[in-house]
Amino acid sequence: MTPLTRKALSRRTFIGGMGATLGLPLLDAMVPAATRLASVEALKAKRIGYTFIPMGADMTRWTPQGDNLDNLSYILEPLAPIRENVSVVSNLELRPAYPGSHATSNSAFLSAAKAKVTESTDYYLGTTVDQIAAQSIGQQTQLPSLELAMDMMQNIGQCDNGYACVYQNNLSWSSPTTPLPAEAHPRLVFEKLFGEGGTPEDRRAALSRRSSLLDFVTEDIRRLKRELGSADRSKVDDYLTSVREVERRIQRAEANTKENLLPDLDRPTGVPEVYADHAKLMFDLQLLAMQGDITRVFSFQLARETSTRAYPEIGIDDPHHPLSHHGNDPAKIERMAKINQFHLSLFADFIAKLGETPEGNGTLLDTSLFMYGSGMGNPNLHDHVDLPVIIAGGSALGVKGNRHITYDKPTPLANLHLSMMDKAGVEIDSFGDSTGLLDDVIQPLTI
């Protein structure tokens, strides 16, 4: 522990080398004893994250019984190990997404705004909630926010019922006319987090000239560790091991690309061949970004609307989108529910890892808030009521888990967005079609 008489190491400390910078996890040396007292700041969420799933869910296999998660439904079974850190919120709606479509399911999820009907470039939506957070808590970090996806966004023009593809391709918008493209390539995300900037092409070229990013910061690491206590040295070693392991997984995926003669056209070249491996890598990159305090705001499109991806690794060879238009066929609904459960299992693994990653006197999960969900309820009807939504994290902020909260009448998803912003200390009076805070889900920040 750093003595009171010793100057604290800045939380913004980086170690760097030729073409590389590396943020550090929270160390004891960064927290002077004089600041360890409880304060209002300690009640604010340090990080906000959103994971989007397309085409809703089979709500009959999603919705749990009762007011807790002790008896999990089929789709929610992956939440069992983390149930104390998650809550399911039922009967939320997304009215700005009507008339129901895939494009508006995606565009309204984080904006709670009505998309302008257009097939051209005069599109108009609204600033998304993650970018409102980025304008506040995101300004304290190297990157204001991180936008991730699993699929290449190649569609242009008109995609869905008169809506331009931009609405379906992009979750995050920094203004009503500025969509933010998401990155699906782990290598480019890695370089964005740990490289020294430049275009994606610049970062890729720089990495091709070296075997490992960490090779270029070795001397700075040695110098830093000589100034740290044993506990901090161990934290740095663990963090660097995680960074190197992620880098190795990216390198393996790129090496395997040469042997893959028939790549998935929706999947960028050089990503893991198996969907789950790709998704876990993208989640692990988010974890590293949190540990190094590189960014505090995340959005992740776990699959895109109208995705025709199949999931042979779980025995589903049918494309997801046609399955979602199941026509009440029990066999199709069952297969769709299996995809729903599979997607959730990936998020649950990520939340579990955050809960196992130390930070200060707790974990990364304790002071973070994450939302998982879709802008669509029943995909067969293209409706936007009774959305599948989960909230995770925030135990140190007073957010309680192991709950199933059901509203008597349809309630705007925007109310939950507003409540998460309030807990992060972002002061906005309203958002989208919000009608107020959801105090029973997330207690307001009191100053």
Instruction: Write the CATH number for 330.
Output: 3.40.720
Tell me the pLDDT tens digit for each residue of 103-150. Answer: 999 999 999 999 999 988 899 999 999 999 999 999 889 899 999 999
Specify whether 29 is located in the same domain as 48: no
Scanning 19-141, the segments in alpha helix (DSSP H) are: 59-62, 102-111, 129-134
Above 70 in pLDDT, residue 396?
yes
Tokens of 4: 């009171």
Specify whether 383 is located in the same domain as 302: yes
CA dist 227 and 19 (Å) reads 24
Specify whether 335 is located in the same domain as 231: no
Q: Across all residues in the chain, what is the average pLDDT?
A: 86
| Domain end call among 267, 302, 320 | 267
CA dist 110 and 51 (Å) reads 10
Specify whether 157 is located in the same domain as 300: yes
Domain containing residue 43: 38-184+271-423
Whether the link from the prior residue into 99 is cis, omega within 30° of 0, is: yes
Going by C-alpha positions, the residue among 114, 129, 44, 31 that lies closest to residue 418 is: 129
Report if residue 442 sits inside a domain. no
Specify whether 151 is located in the same domain as 212: no
Tell me the pLDDT tens digit for each residue of 65-118. Answer: 999 999 999 999 999 999 999 999 999 999 999 988 999 999 999 999 999 999
Through-space distance between the first and last CA atoms of the chain, rounded to whole angstroms: 30
Scanning 195-229, the segments in alpha helix (DSSP H) are: 200-208, 218-225
Report if residue 433 sits inside a domain. no
Tokens of 6: 């010793």
Higher pLDDT: 35 or 435? It is 435
| Domain end call among 267, 300, 320 | 267
Specify whether 61 is located in the same domain as 139: yes
Tokens of 90: 């039922």
Tokens of 103: 């494009």
Question: Looking at the 3D structure of the chain, how many domains does it have?
Answer: 2
Specify whether 287 is located in the same domain as 359: yes
Q: Which residues 6+ apart lie within 8 Å of 6 measured at CB?
A: 29, 32
Report if residue 67 sits inside a domain. yes
Specify whether 397 is located in the same domain as 407: yes
pLDDT at position 152 is 72
Type of residue numbered 44: K
| Domain end call among 267, 287, 310 | 267
Specify whether 54 is located in the same domain as 105: yes
Where does residue 11 rank: exposed (0-12), middle (13-18), buried (19+ CB within 10 A)?
A: middle
Its sign, for the CA torsion 273, 278, 280, 285, is: positive
In this prediction, residue 314 has a pLDDT band, given cuts at 50, 70 and 90, of very high
Specify whether 209 is located in the same domain as 178: no
Specify whether 399 is located in the same domain as 280: yes
Instruction: Give the highest mean pLDDT range of 186-190, 252-256, 291-295, 385-389.
Output: 385-389
Specify whether 145 is located in the same domain as 278: yes
CA dist 149 and 157 (Å) reads 20
Place of tokens 């998704």: 279
Report if residue 99 sits inside a domain. yes
- Within 10 Å of residue 446's Cβ, how many Cβ atoms? 7
CA dist 106 and 414 (Å) reads 14
In this prediction, residue 205 has a pLDDT band, given cuts at 50, 70 and 90, of low
Average pLDDT over residues 260-276: 64
Report if residue 95 sits inside a domain. yes
pLDDT at position 244 is 84
